[in-house]
Amino acid sequence: MTLPVVLAFVGMLAIMLVGMPVAVSMAAVGVLGGIAAFGRPFVDSIAPVIWGTLNENLLTCIPLFVLLGELLLRSGIADRMYVALSAWLGGLPGGLLHTNIGCCALFAATSGSSVATAATIGTVALPSLHARGYSMRASLGSLAAGGTLGILIPPSVNMIVYGSLTNNSIGKLFIAGIIPGLLLTACFMLYIYANAVFGTTTKRESTLPLAERLRTLVHLVPPLVVFGIVMGSLYFGIATATESAALGVLVALFFVWRTGRLNRAVLETCFVQTARITGMIMLIIVAAFILNLTIGLTGIADAITKWVTSFGLSATVMLLALTLFYLILGMFMDVLSMQVATIPITYPIVTALGVDPIWYGIYIVLMCELGMITPPVGMNLFVVHGIRPDKGGIEDAIWGALPYAVIMILFTFTLMALPSLATWLPGKMY
């Protein structure tokens, strides 16, 4: 049983690496494997799976959260948010690099995408950083790493995908990501501070008068209000994940209207982009469920779980091995590919070893974050490199992001030692 599974998994990865779309690769392996095992009856069982997946009300929150991020992106709120945070954080050692991290974290609280976070904040920040003489390596590294917070700080599309694949509460996953997301943001900023204080060069902006800084706080109101309503309604049990997403969209529409940019062109752009992104995600999810059907009917997941647990590994040793596995895999695969290809296999194993499923969701997201800044296929590295104003080489983004990758690995070990960082807050939900 083990050899065919390994060959199928390697074959699927090979198909993805040669450029075949993720959804096609997974569906092909799932369908061919199912037909080989059960023949024609397997084909008849695919349609109910597809219908059941696409008819799941919970997945409605994916287009809503994508639309929420698009509305705030197209309305110019991110530009004003950067100005406000630079007034408060620019005076610290490290200057606007702190603003990069803080702005990415705040924008991540309204956008479920790391790529959108890195691209949006990078477009706003890089021209100013370049004009002020900041090291391009440090600037690109902070933006690439800060962008990864988009899938850890809720709302997060990747948490929704994990929840749908494992049948876990999306609301609990969102709440579980708050404390780790804030702590990782603080770790990034602490590194920037220490590097500026003990490094060879120190960059900081002049401190603005208090009255002027207070006036900029109004620009932070929209993202904070949206985040408060979405997370507050989830935490207090007022709304489901889909309902909280709808509330967030309504509030975002109000703020876009207040900026004077609520017009047909903006709405058309937002809706078209939302449809494109949602279509891609839903195709991958459907393909993942087809593959899961094959895995479930053939008993592969159960067999692998029994085989791995027969070695008598502790949960900690297993997670350390998975960390190395995901570190290598993240160098060659994008985030959604990693999730849908590995979760159906690794999830039963770790839960059989007693790992909390909500905690494991945060762990998976951290591993996906790491994959976004590890070469050669680190998506955020390409995003920030593509918008840099001086047209230099991508090695600046790679070396600039390397310290943050180390910080993520160390933070993952901390999360293993202190799992309550991710499980305490969801346990207090109403």
Among 181-185, 293-297, 396-400, which stretch is predicted with the lowest mean pLDDT? 293-297
Query: Comparing C-alpha atoms, which of 170, 156, 165 is closest to residue 343?
Result: 165
Residue 296 region, left (φ>0) first, then alpha (ψ -120 to 50), else beta? Answer: alpha
Average pLDDT over residues 9-22: 69
pLDDT of residue 307: 76
Site of tokens 């955020």: 380
Query: Comparing C-alpha atoms, which of 98, 102, 100, 104 is closest to residue 117?
Result: 104
Query: Comparing C-alpha atoms, which of 342, 259, 305 is closest to residue 22?
Result: 342
pLDDT of residue 9: 66
User: Which residues are within 8 A (CB) of 33 and not within 5 positions of it... i.e. 6 or more apart?
Assistant: 8, 291, 294, 298
- pLDDT(360) > 80: yes
d(CA 424, CA 134): 39
d(CA 94, CA 201): 9
- pLDDT(383) > 80: yes
Q: What is the pLDDT of residues 311-340, one digit of tens each?
A: 888 999 999 999 998 988 888 777 877 888
pLDDT of residue 310: 80
Tokens read off for 115: 């790529």
Higher pLDDT, 310 or 81: 81
3-state DSSP of 44-58: HHHHHHHHHHHCCHH
d(CA 357, CA 351): 7
- pLDDT(303) > 90: no
Three-class SS state of 222: helix
Q: What is the pLDDT of residues 23-68, one digit of tens each?
A: 787 788 888 888 888 888 888 888 888 888 788 777 888 899 888 8
Contact 235, 429 (CB under 8 A): yes
Query: Which helix (H) or strand (E) element contains residue 333?
Result: none
Tokens read off for 221: 């109101």
Among 113-117, 299-303, 403-407, which stretch is predicted with the lowest mean pLDDT? 299-303
pLDDT of residue 350: 93
Q: What is the pLDDT of residues 166-202, one digit of tens each?
A: 989 999 999 999 999 999 999 999 999 999 888 765 6
- pLDDT(341) > 90: no
Query: Comparing C-alpha atoms, which of 409, 415, 365, 403 is closest to residue 97?
Result: 403
Higher pLDDT, 162 or 77: 162
- pLDDT(304) > 60: yes
- pLDDT(411) > 90: yes
Q: Total domain count for the chain? A: 1
Q: What angle do CA 230, 283, 382 make, to 5 degrees?
A: 75
Contact 147, 188 (CB under 8 A): no
Contact 403, 397 (CB under 8 A): no
Average pLDDT over residues 373-377: 81
Contact 330, 371 (CB under 8 A): yes
**What residue numbers bound the domain in which 416 lies?**
2-427
- pLDDT(416) > 90: yes
d(CA 75, CA 92): 29
Q: What is the pLDDT of residues 60-109, one digit of tens each?
A: 888 998 888 888 878 888 788 888 998 888 888 888 999 999 999 998 88
Among 106-110, 219-223, 360-364, which stretch is predicted with the lowest mean pLDDT? 106-110
Whole-number average pLDDT of the chain: 86
Q: What is the pTM of this model?
A: 0.88
d(CA 32, CA 293): 12
pLDDT of residue 1: 47
pLDDT of residue 17: 64
DSSP 202: -
Which alpha helices (H) appear in 39-93, and where do they start and end? Answer: 40-54, 61-74, 77-89
pLDDT of residue 5: 58
Contact 328, 87 (CB under 8 A): no
Three-class SS state of 263: coil
Average pLDDT over residues 150-177: 90
- pLDDT(387) > 70: yes
Average pLDDT over residues 134-150: 91
pLDDT of residue 293: 82
Helix and strand counts by DSSP (H, E) for the chain: 22, 0
